[in-house]
Structure 1
Amino acid sequence: MSFHPSAEPVELPLGGTAASSRRSWRKRLAAGRYMYVLILPGFLYFALFKLLPMWGMLIAFQNYNPFAGIRGSEWVGFTHFLELFGDDHFYVLLRNTLLINVLNLIFFFPVPIVLAVMLNEVRHEWFKKLNQSVVYMPHFLSWVVVASMTFFVLSVDVGFINKLLVSLGLESVSFLSEPRYFWGILTAQNIWKESGWGTIIFLAAVAGVDPERYEAAIMDGASRWRQIWHITLPAIRPTIVILLILRLGHMADVGFEQVLLMMNPLVNNVADVFDTFVYFRGIQQGEISLGTAVGMFKGVVGLVLVLISNYVVKKLGHEGIY
């Protein structure tokens, strides 16, 4: 029998096709086995601590009784949401939470970008690594330590700033008990503690810039400022946009531990946020369903802000997160 190239291919039986598909799937699985092992811890983390707990959101629609459990608790619908929105204190919580996050967005978010660009301009490698280590260190301090350091810096009795003011013949200032200073103190703490750690992603983005672009710019007579403005910043712009979108998704979140440690009765009106409200009402007073409703509200606000910001960013011609 002669072979004719133009002859039509013979179809395999259905079982043979399925078997071939299974063999192909197994080969792909075997080829990427190390990659799957690499992503397994992250997948398990999100599955155990992010996806499975979503079952607990049902508590927001119940009068949850720990002894009866989720299945046995009374269903009340949107009662707890109406209670939350009808509370006069809700607008204080919303104001404090949003304004603290807006201050962080304006003053804290750009700092890691500027710091990463500055570190990238350091030419001595040993000096660059030394500076990186120094700015990373505050991230590993707990908020208890940071709050204690803030007390020793700003308190009226032992704070060295007030001691300096008194030595100059000026009056001491109650930084920690004056409401008008509270939001600024929180923002300054975030900048000092987390800005160095935030440079990691931006430094990685800067490292991906083609060195030949800088060489071409130097040959064209571009100064260091011109190279930063026309090469470095445009190269890391996608990273900045993505992190900005993700940051907007946390506009309803404020560091609970930080705020709780810095609170006192004199600043409660500007310090109370959704996270502290959940702690005092949901945990201390046992209103678990109300606390869950607050958490669900925060999640919805974050989702809406991410969707809106991603839409706006794509309309402006940038790449969003999806």
Structure 2
Amino acid sequence: MDFVAHSFFRPEIDSLPAYVAGKKALDASVIKLASNESPFPTLPAVQAAIATQLGGISRYPDIGSQVLTSKIAQFHGVAESNVTVSNGSVALIEKILNAVCTVNSKVVLPWRSFEAYPIAIQLAGARAVKVPLRPDGNADLDSMLLAIDANTRAILVCTPNNPTSSALTHTEVRDFLMQVPPHIPVLLDEAYIDYVEMEDAVRGVELLKEFKNVISLRTFSKAYGLAALRCGYALASEEITRGLIASATPFGVNSLAQTAAIAALDSVGEVKRRVRVIKHEREKMVNALCALGWCGPIPQGNFVWFNLGEESHRFATLSEDEGIIVRAFAGDGVRVTVAEPEGSLRLVRAYSAFRRI
């Protein structure tokens, strides 16, 4: 029998761009600065809490993550009906777009930004409308407004933006939201909000209380150091929260992730101390780089951006020669995580070599 070559999937699935993860260090002496992970060991309280749950993983977790939901609501001063917990904020983005996008719909986003966005948009059957960033590495909100049309079903804004580390101000985001049609959901990705150190920083909770179409997306993967457990959440209006819960994957957040996130919130003092350490290291790194001629966007995440264009690969190679793994975006630039002081020293040596050659 002759078989005709075909795909079992929709055309947009076959042409999905691949998500490129930061390379793993194969040598123990190499420092990975490619994935914006926390350099600290797992919080002691998290380790202890997880240990108490290992004997019960034969049972399904709490389907509604009730205890964690309550903790998050208290932490942000919102109602539990404003909180949706999920297996990572990326999963929430996928769920939201799948729920709101229709055939021939569009999603407006800044670019370059988080590389999972175009994948999620294409999976939802929509078209990504990529609006170039401003010279300072931030989303060009004025141009994004101009990109909205009758087919726009959602808007994505990442602040601090990944990978440029630039952050928008609360005032400019609020002015933007004032002009966005209220029927279009705005996904405000605040994965790196804990590391922001600037005047008039975005206050996502305040915005969602004023604008019913705002969805603030948060994660436990970064400042809280739970990247391996995949736990994130959305803060939104009651109406949006109901839709997110209705479309959620049953038992999507495993019991260890729920337990760890609860313990991490209870350890917020230590989390803030660790964040201060990263901010201090970021400041030292930037000062050293500036002395060598670096002039990238002012970093507000736990990473720094090198706007190197076609020179990105050369810098990534020099970094590997110094014993660090960085994240190169071909033709655009290089993102480097702020982590161990030794990693910063190696980065400065790599950039010094890059400038000399």
TM-score by length of 2: 0.22
**Greater fraction helix:** 1
Q: Which structure has the greater CA radius of gyration?
A: 1
TM-score by length of 1: 0.24
**Greater fraction strand:** 2
